[in-house]
Amino acid sequence: MTSVFLGMLLIINLLLRSPNDPAKVLTKREEEAEKSKWLLDRRSRRRRRSNKTSAVISDASPYVIPTDVSRKMSRGVDTNDALRFFLWGPETRQLLTVKEEKELFKKIQDLMRLEEVKQNLHSQFGRDPTLVEWAEAVGMTCHVLQSCLYSGNRSRERMIYANFRLVVHVAKQYQGKGLNIQDLLQEGSMGLMRSLEKFKPKAGCRFPTYAYWWIRQSIRKAIFQNSRTIRLPENVYALLKKIKNTRVLYIQEGHVPTNEELARRVGISKERLERVLTSARSPVSIQDRAWTDQDITVQEITADPEVEGPEFTVAKQMMRRHVRGLLRILPPRERQIIQFRYGMHGGEPKSLSEIGELLGLSKERIRQLESRALDRLKESLPGHGLGAYVELLI
């Protein structure tokens, strides 16, 4: 490819020469000299670029960014994405062999035993033990203890880095379930660290296989507890998943199922299915936009049940006028008794005794006057058309 490229350059050079150019065509020896000079220049340019890139990387980051990654970055990848840079690091890209896993876990288990001794000393002394006390308790020198601690922590970090891509893989399966990807990765990382404490190499399985279940369990638990404003029990989540899968099967068969068909296939009653579906609805903020292309909020188009409609308000005003007109047929004292009795005076309805005290009459006399006033109102009721307000009394 190099010889072909150089030949093309020479041909272009010849074609671009002016007919009056006194320069002669290069001889074969001169052509070889030109090729050698061009190759040396290209090698020196490559060497300068590689040295410059290595210096920049060594000053800015402990990781050497691969060539394909640098190409992606030059095409506009966000360089501020910490997660992407972490996943591009060599420690997360390198898979461990079975032998390496065993060696690392041996050091991790030694570290866990040392930490257990430290916890026992803390319970015994009521404080954190000194390095000397800790070393004496485990039968080591301080230097050997520090070396074991460093080796164990380094091994644990390497196991976490090497298996973090498994956390990303599991977390992506639960996107859109109520938590963002950062929260899912955090919960998955906690499950990964928990699996390091529980894993037993002698069980006969690889660590990624064992860690997968802890990562998934940690993510699922976080979704159950934190994905909704109102937390649902785990069995309700399982039932919702079963209902969703059943609905998908019906749709794949070319039929949109009803609630009765879903309940029959899932094995629950229709009423319980409707309760579960209702409880699974996510609350909507009244400050959210009702339509994506307009700035109208849900609050602006939602009717307030406590606010009366204009028709109802007008009907009540007209009813008050009719009732006041009807009360004018009564004598003043009977009209006053009816107003006190039914709270039409602007206050609370009063008892017969309270009205008697206000008017200076006995309770029985107030009852008689009230009965006579109601009889008079009933006699004159048909002529006032109050039957139109029956709906307001319902």
> pLDDT, tens digit, for every residue of 151-174?
989 988 888 888 888 899 899 988
At the topology level, CATH places domain 90-227 in Four Helix Bundle (Hemerythrin (Met), subunit A) (1.20.120)
Q: What angle do CA 138, 143, 147 make, to 5 degrees?
A: 85
β-strand partners of 289: 297
Residue 151 class from Cβ within 10 Å (0-12 exposed, 13-18 middle, 19+ buried)?
middle
pLDDT of residue 170: 92
Burial of 190 (0-12, 13-18, 19+ CB in 10 A): middle
Phi, psi of 247 (to 5 degrees): -65, -40
Residue tagged 């390496």 (tokens): 100
pLDDT for res 326: 74
Please state the pTM of the whole predicted model.
Answer: 0.49
pLDDT on residue 383: 58
Question: In angstroms, rounded to a whole number, what is the distance separating the alpha carbons of residues 331 and 355?
Answer: 16
38 burial (CB, 10 Å; 0-12 / 13-18 / 19+) is middle
CA distance 238 to 234: 6
Helices 310-327 and 363-380, axial angle in degrees (round to 10): 110
Give the pair of three-digit tokens for residue 376.
């008079």
Nearest to 108 by CA among 26, 211, 225: 211
CATH, domain 314-393, list 3.40.50.2300, 3.30.565.10, 3.40.140.10, 1.10.10.10: 1.10.10.10
At 391 the pLDDT is: 52
Where are the extended beta strands (E) located within 140-248? Answer: none
pLDDT of residue 387: 57
Residues 88/65, Cβ–Cβ less than 8 Å: yes
Digit-coded pLDDT (tens) for 313-338: 777 777 777 777 777 888 888 888 88
pLDDT of residue 14: 40
C-alpha 199/C-alpha 361 separation (Å) is: 92
CA–CA dist 344, 367 (Å, integer) = 17
Which pLDDT value is given to residue 192?
A: 92
Domain ranges within the chain, ordered by starting residue: 27-60, 90-227, 236-279, 314-393
DSSP state for residue 68 in the 8-state scheme? H
Euclidean distance between CA atoms 157 and 162, whole angstroms: 9
Domains 90-227 and 314-393 share a fold: no
pLDDT, tens digit, 9 for 90 and up, residues 332-358: 888 888 888 877 777 788 888 888 888
Structure confidence at residue 165 (pLDDT)? 86
Coil, strand or helix at 246: helix
CA distance 103 to 207: 13
Q: What is the pLDDT of residue 315?
A: 72
Alpha-carbon distance of 340 to 356, in angstroms, equals 10
Phi, psi dihedral angles at 194 (to 5 degrees): -65, -35
Low-confidence residues of the chain, pLDDT below 70?
Answer: 1-39, 47-93, 229, 301, 303-308, 381-394
